[in-house]
Structure 1
Amino acid sequence: MVLNPQFSCRLCWLYSCGLVPYQQAWEWQKSLVRDRLSHPEAPETLLLLEHPPVYTLGQGATLEHLKFDPDTAPYELHRTERGGEVTYHCPGQIVGYPILNLKLFQPDLHWYLRQLEEVTIQTLEVYGLRGDRIPGLTGVWVEGYKVAAIGIKVSRWVTMHGFALNVRPDLDGFKQIVPCGIADRPVGRMADWIPDIDPAKVRQTLATTFARVFGLELMRAPHELELLLPH
């Protein structure tokens, strides 16, 4: 599922940020969305990063999928404006936050979710892994193990939040939740099949694949993200 060529060659600023606290990345996203809503024709943006251990809940997520008291959570716990249930982020998991104006692509949330799945499927293919979709569910699985989770928020067709690909994270944190509210499907990581997988190389592959799927030209961002935040 690749974007129609008529939409190709739009510019996309790429921020490759390393390990970033969740709250900081969240503020970056909100600032970028505000700016994009004010400038609909501006370049697209993709943030690729990793987070210290953190749990996040979707806007309507139930606390029943937590296996701990939220008042004494083992790591930070945030309720966000994205869709979906609870998930876990930690080092070794590559997170992508696209800030896109879907009016310039296809203003269709189901289409957008399938495109994000396609980014991870094509990335897995580069490493010899077959990524599968499961009808009725969002995300990507390898041999029945969920390796990519997706949760988005769209405001006036401008996107935030995005996808998370498990490259070589410590999966223990997932044992404290029902990941994405799906109790009968285990979580996996690329390292389960490729023990020496390099997250830095996967990050590069993700960026290249994202640009290809969405028909974008990636460019290094012209300024630091910290400059986007109000003082």
Structure 2
Amino acid sequence: MIRSIRPSLNRCLLYNQGLMPYIDAHVWQRSLLAERIQDPSLDDVLILLEHPPVYTLGQGATPEFLKFDLDNSNFDVHRVERGGEVTYHCPGQLVGYPILNLQRYRKDLHWYLRQLEEVIIRVLAVYGLAGDRLTGFTGVWLENRKVAAIGIKVSRWITMHGFALNVCPDMTGFQHIVPCGIADKPVASLAEWIPGITCEEVRSHIVQSFADVFGVDLVDSTH
């Protein structure tokens, strides 16, 4: 029996990548965004990957949230065009970069942020964990500790940047910053609730959740 894809589903290309330097992923995102601004009919994209240790600052980020001297450190640091404050990426953290044309969904940035949170909340529910939203903040929380950060950039209703879920990273890198500029709420990883959890198993749950939340048909692709 041939499975028919409901015509209402948008196609979304899935790039399931491994470890990729932040700068390479950033250049790739900008390229995908520029192509879709030029030709809005191109398919949407979801990139899933991990990064080597790196700190990124949003376009309006406050340097005071860094606990090291930006000019005299060996850390890899990038200021980029997303919203939000400083965050940290490293292996064991799953990062998702959706390049979506919101004109196919809803032209509402608050709606889009809530949808990204919903993707993560549904992934946590697979493990019997109740992810929360906190009023006035963006991201997903477990027992008042932040497990997923979200920061986006939208140009002509096409998105870039996205979400980062702490699965099983070495959390010590977070000690050098005030994550997302929130001093009184600690960050955490899923491994603290589920010892032995891996990014590999969580990837499939993110893919399924993303497809369900956004109503897309994810098509495996290669880069």
Instruction: Give the TM-score normalised by the residue count of structure 1.
Output: 0.92
Separation of aligned partners in 2, 1:27 and 1:117: 25
Separation of aligned partners in 1, 2:210 and 2:41: 19
Checking the alignment, whether the CA contact within 8 Å between 1:7 and 1:104 is kept in structure 2 is no
AA partner of residue 16 (structure 1): N
SS at 2:194 equivalent: coil
Matched, 1:71 2:71: yes
Q: Which moved more, 1:162-171 or 1:198-207?
A: 198-207
Checking the alignment, whether the CA contact within 8 Å between 2:92 and 2:198 is kept in structure 1 is no
Which residue of structure 1 aligns with residue 159 of structure 2? 159
- Counting only pairs closer than 5 Å after superposition, residues 24-173 of structure 1 correspond to structure 2 as 24-173=24-173
Checking the alignment, whether the CA contact within 8 Å between 2:57 and 2:78 is kept in structure 1 is yes
Separation of aligned partners in 1, 2:69 and 2:7: 47
AA partner of residue 208 (structure 1): Q
Which residue of structure 2 aligns with residue 220 of structure 1? 220
Identity in percent: 62
Checking the alignment, whether the CA contact within 8 Å between 1:152 and 1:162 is kept in structure 2 is yes
- Counting only pairs closer than 5 Å after superposition, residues 202-213 of structure 1 correspond to structure 2 as 202-213=202-213
1:109–1:150 Cα change, 3 Å:
same
Number of aligned residue pairs: 218
Which residue of structure 2 aligns with residue 3 of structure 1? none
Matched, 1:176 2:176: yes
Per-residue CA deviation, residues 102-126 of structure 1 (Å, 9 max, x unaligned), is 0110011000000000000000101
AA partner of residue 86 (structure 2): V
Residue 74 (structure 1) shift: 3.9
SS at 1:49 equivalent: strand
AA partner of residue 60 (structure 2): G
Residue 38 (structure 1) shift: 1.5
Residue 205 (structure 1) shift: 0.7
Instruction: Give the TM-score normalised by the residue count of structure 2.
Output: 0.95
Separation of aligned partners in 1, 2:75 and 2:102: 34
Residue 197 (structure 1) shift: 0.7
Residue 128 (structure 1) shift: 1.2
Separation of aligned partners in 1, 2:7 and 2:195: 38
SS at 2:71 equivalent: helix
Residue 204 (structure 1) shift: 1.1
Q: Unaligned stretches of 5+ in structure 2?
A: 1-5
Checking the alignment, whether the CA contact within 8 Å between 1:54 and 1:88 is kept in structure 2 is yes
1:209–1:107 Cα change, 3 Å:
same
Residue 39 (structure 1) shift: 1.6
Checking the alignment, whether the CA contact within 8 Å between 1:7 and 1:215 is kept in structure 2 is no
Checking the alignment, whether the CA contact within 8 Å between 2:13 and 2:45 is kept in structure 1 is yes
Residue 7 (structure 1) shift: 9.5
Checking the alignment, whether the CA contact within 8 Å between 1:98 and 1:160 is kept in structure 2 is yes
AA partner of residue 54 (structure 2): V
Across the aligned residues of Structure 1 and Structure 2, the Cα RMSD in angstroms comes to: 1.2
Which residue of structure 1 aligns with residue 3 of structure 2? none
Residue 72 (structure 1) shift: 2.3
Q: Unaligned stretches of 5+ in structure 1?
A: 1-5, 225-231
